């Protein structure tokens, strides 16, 4: 049995590549994602694939910080 905490199997990579390919095929002019700032793995995942931070914000009435990233 594989422990996913130790040996990532690449599901995120496969989903990302599929989504990116589809978005480009549909003519997307920009690719953006929004990640909860507390999700450091998610932020690292996006940054490792060329996304750069464009905005940080907290929704009205909430306390969680969100980060918008755009593919450079």
- pLDDT (tens digit per residue) in 23-38: 999 999 999 999 999 9
Q: What is the pLDDT of residue 12?
A: 85
Mean pLDDT along residues 54-64: 98
Q: Identify the helix (H) or strand (E) that includes residue 56.
A: strand 51-58
Tokens 């920009």 label which residue?
Answer: 30
The 8-class DSSP code of residue 10 comes to: S
Express each pLDDT in 39-57 by its tens digit.
Answer: 999 999 999 999 999 999 9
Q: What is the pLDDT of residue 25?
A: 96
User: In terms of DSSP H, where are the helices of the chain?
Assistant: 11-25, 40-48
- Indicate the pLDDT class of residue 9, thresholds 50, 70 and 90: low
Q: For the chain, report the end-to-end CA distance as a whole number of angstroms.
A: 38
The 8-class DSSP code of residue 71 comes to: E
């Amino acid at each position: 049995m594989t422990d996913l905490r130790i040996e990532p199997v690449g599901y995120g990579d496969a989903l990302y590549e599929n989504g990116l390919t589809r978005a480009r095929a549909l003519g997307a002019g920009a690719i953006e994602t929004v990640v909860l700032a507390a999700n450091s793995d998610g932020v690292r995942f996006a940054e490792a694939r060329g996304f750069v931070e464009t905005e940080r914000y907290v929704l009205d009435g909430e306390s969680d910080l969100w980060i918008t990233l755009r593919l450079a």
